[in-house]
């Protein structure tokens, strides 16, 4: 049950697909977004990025169908409840009302895969990094410690 809950939590995190830039800390206290940029994944998709606090975050959902090293990520059907529990990395596409692909969900095993899902120089954010961002944006420490 705990693994299933962890998979659901990770899938929710993937919904926003925010990845934080590794090793990027500054001492700026100004909360106004002053820096933006882009990052490109292994598939050639370019994403907007934004600096929030002392870290860089992707401002768009990840759409990569390959790990950082070029290996394929297995595609599953969004209506399959098993995709999130697959023992190997997998993704499913998410569609809008007009059936246009608007993003992808990645299962837990794709996030923790040694082939690495995040673009070069980026990583999946830790709980501490999420809390840091939440508190920077105004959430108090007690609220950022809550689940859900």
Q: How far is CA 78 from the centre of its chain?
A: 18
Query: E-strand spans in 3-146?
Result: 20-21, 36-40, 46-52, 55-58, 74-76, 90-95, 101-106, 122-123
What is the model's pLDDT at position 1?
A: 44
Burial class (CB in 10 A: 0-12, 13-18, 19+), 76: middle
Q: Which domain holds residue 125?
A: 2-145
Q: Kindly state the average pLDDT of the residues 81-90.
A: 75
Report the domain count for the chain.
1
Answer whether residue 115 shows pLDDT above 90: yes
What is the model's pLDDT at position 103?
A: 80
What is the model's pLDDT at position 23?
A: 38
Give residue 97's pLDDT band: very low, low, confident or very high (50, 70, 90).
Answer: very high
Question: Which residues are within 8 A (CB) of 76 and not within 5 positions of it... i.e. 6 or more apart?
Answer: 82, 83, 86, 90, 91, 92, 107
Q: Give pTM, 2 decimals.
A: 0.71
Q: Which of 37, 34, 99, 44 is nearest to 66 (CA)?
A: 44
Token digits of residue 27 = 């001492």
Give residue 95's pLDDT band: very low, low, confident or very high (50, 70, 90).
Answer: confident
Give 73's DSSP letter: P
Answer whether residue 18 shows pLDDT above 80: no
Give 46's DSSP letter: E
What is the model's pLDDT at position 79?
A: 57
Token digits of residue 125 = 């954010």
What is the model's pLDDT at position 27?
A: 47
Lowest mean pLDDT among 37-41, 68-72, 79-83, 123-127: 79-83
Pairing of strands 122-123, 20-21: antiparallel
Lowest mean pLDDT among 46-60, 69-83, 111-125: 69-83
């Amino acid at each position: 049950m705990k693994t299933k809950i962890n998979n659901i939590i990770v899938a929710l995190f993937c919904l926003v697909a925010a990845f934080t830039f590794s090793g990027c800390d500054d001492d700026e206290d100004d909360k106004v977004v002053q820096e933006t940029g882009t990052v490109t994944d292994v598939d050639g998709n370019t994403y907007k990025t934004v600096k929030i606090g002392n870290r860089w975050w992707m401002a768009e959902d990840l759409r990569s169908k390959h790990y950082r090293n070029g290996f394929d990520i297995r595609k599953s059907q969004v209506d399959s409840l098993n995709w999130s529990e697959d023992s190997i990395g997998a993704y499913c596409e998410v569609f809008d009302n007009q059936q246009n692909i608007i993003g992808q969900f990645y299962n837990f095993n794709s996030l923790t895969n040694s082939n690495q899902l995040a673009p070069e120089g980026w990583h999946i954010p830790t709980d501490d990094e999420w809390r840091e961002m939440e508190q920077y944006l105004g959430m108090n420490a007690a609220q950022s410690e809550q689940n859900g």
